[in-house]
Structure 1
């Protein structure tokens, strides 16, 4: 797939963080908490950014198919690309800075610390704090020249009908699965209320990180990581017919997590140097020193 794409198709966004900026426009408030008002963020839908975001989703919706997801699982879930100490992976994320983001000039480490420190300040368990700290680590997919639309973006099930609650649903018309009788019905290849563990999600940093850490963290943390970009469900309830009762219970944790991710950015940067010893101990408590990517 990568060889067939032009440079613009690989990277339609100026920076992958433009996707999260667009989320704040679509979802200006968390479900149950006050957040920065919509007018406090740049309105990307009134700017030239809307064209790049729309192009991003056009490509995402066209290419994220059952076959594509299976191909990426085969390619990346062998974890034979690279072996890296945890803190080297964090250092890499710091190269993914959006200099044009009007809401923050912070690097990825500082964004992660703002998320995790907000969680810690509210007295949540340490594994919840760690989840906030590592939730974007799957963006190391950029190391392997993955197209942006296979790293970030709203996630959704493949193998069944695409919901009209997904952002820019009209772009699924170009997705071959939408014309495939195996995949274009309400349930597609799945059974009613099969449970999300039996559902293939579109490929990106959420699923990738989940697969990396699934043996190390508590189940609520894994739900937060795996489904924090599944906005058509935890904002719109679009795929309730595939979810089990257990999924619904676990999604209470996803709902708790997302406001910290989207709305914890503040102009004062955290003191990364002062905080690092705490996070070194926290990471060592739950994760191996070296991770396979």
Structure 2
């Protein structure tokens, strides 16, 4: 999509280059992921504030602390359904496209995947649970440390990060010579698995699925792990750190992205009527009480 003359490059969302021919609902495609600044719009201001807090505080040391805290999986126990129901109480403060509880988005995503991939039931469940890691927000984590796009810490901030590198002006890693170069603490083409991604619901849920021995195929688990990694899968950044093998993961994530992003609308699925189908998938792929 051509860049508008008066719009800063850092505000052009590269995901628009990957958008489908038509939206999955009646919302114009151009209206998705609008991160323009408008002090008179409370949702835009909420989104901007959330990202600036995230970009100020998300350091290598913080990611290390959060991994140590959350990857013990000792915060609570619950079934997948009970954990999903918690999302009734969560509105994502980083999302400019929806002001509805996150569970609505979960079912919107899952149902659209189900329409287009009717025989891949693991994919339906992947869509349903992809944001489940946001339950961290109910256990003393601020939303800026749970939601939003993700990015690599430990190297120079990517140009395509929402609000641009200037939003990191108060982050101490910006001025740390160990972390503020092109490669930072990484080796060239070290691969996705070696990168430290900003802490969020993505990495937490991927590790949760591994810990609880979920039977969702690795393809689905990687969709979850990188679905918010927009600077990579939409912005084209970090190619100097990834490998040819990661290109296969990229294709998986891009396929998932169109269902995650473009299904957000005010149309609320009949969640109660859909539960029996998805309860069957939960029992098949990740049954019983899980450790969160």
- Using the size of structure 1 for normalisation, the TM-score is 0.84
Instruction: Quote the RMSD (CA, aligned, Å).
Output: 2.6
Distance 1:132 1:250 in 2: 16
Aligned to 1:57: 51
CA deviation profile, 1:60-119 (whole Å, cap 9, x unmatched):
1111111000000111100111111222111111111479x9966754333211111110
In the superposition, relative to structure 1, how do residues 27 and 79 fare at CA in structure 2: closer, same or farther (>3 Å)? Answer: same
Aligned to 2:22: 34
2:111–2:124 contact (8 Å) kept in structure 1: yes
Aligned to 1:18: none
Pairs within 5 Å for 1:151-170: 151-168=146-163, 169-170=165-166
Aligned to 1:118: 112
Aligned to 1:19: none
Aligned to 1:72: 66
Mapped pair 1:173 → 2:161? no
How far does residue 26 in structure 1 lie from its aligned partner after superposition? 7.6
In the superposition, relative to structure 1, how do residues 136 and 176 fare at CA in structure 2: closer, same or farther (>3 Å)? Answer: same
In the superposition, relative to structure 1, how do residues 98 and 68 fare at CA in structure 2: closer, same or farther (>3 Å)? Answer: closer
CA deviation profile, 1:114-135 (whole Å, cap 9, x unmatched):
1111101102511111110001
Distance 1:171 1:108 in 2: 26
Which residue among 125, 133, 136 is the counterpart of 2:131? 136
Mapped pair 1:233 → 2:232? yes
Aligned to 2:193: 197
What runs of 5+ residues in structure 2 fail to find an aligned partner?
Answer: 1-10
State the SS of the aligned residue for 1:181: coil
What runs of 5+ residues in structure 1 fail to find an aligned partner?
Answer: 1-22
In the superposition, relative to structure 1, how do residues 97 and 170 fare at CA in structure 2: closer, same or farther (>3 Å)? Answer: closer
Distance 1:95 1:86 in 2: 16
State the SS of the aligned residue for 2:159: coil
Distance 1:149 1:265 in 2: 21
Distance 1:110 1:147 in 2: 21
2:19–2:29 contact (8 Å) kept in structure 1: no
How far does residue 40 in structure 1 lie from its aligned partner after superposition? 5.5
Distance 1:182 1:98 in 2: 33
Q: Give the count of matched residue pairs.
A: 270
Mapped pair 1:249 → 2:245? no
CA deviation profile, 1:178-237 (whole Å, cap 9, x unmatched):
211211111111111111111110001111111101342212112211111111111111
CA deviation profile, 1:261-289 (whole Å, cap 9, x unmatched):
11113444322222211111101111131
How far does residue 53 in structure 1 lie from its aligned partner after superposition? 2.4
Mean Cα displacement is larger for which, 122-131 or 255-264?
A: 122-131
2:202–2:227 contact (8 Å) kept in structure 1: yes
- Using the size of structure 2 for normalisation, the TM-score is 0.84
Mapped pair 1:186 → 2:182? yes
State the SS of the aligned residue for 1:174: coil
In the superposition, relative to structure 1, how do residues 285 and 64 fare at CA in structure 2: closer, same or farther (>3 Å)? Answer: same
How far does residue 242 in structure 1 lie from its aligned partner after superposition? 1.0
State the SS of the aligned residue for 1:146: coil
1:25–1:38 contact (8 Å) kept in structure 2: no
Aligned to 1:210: 206
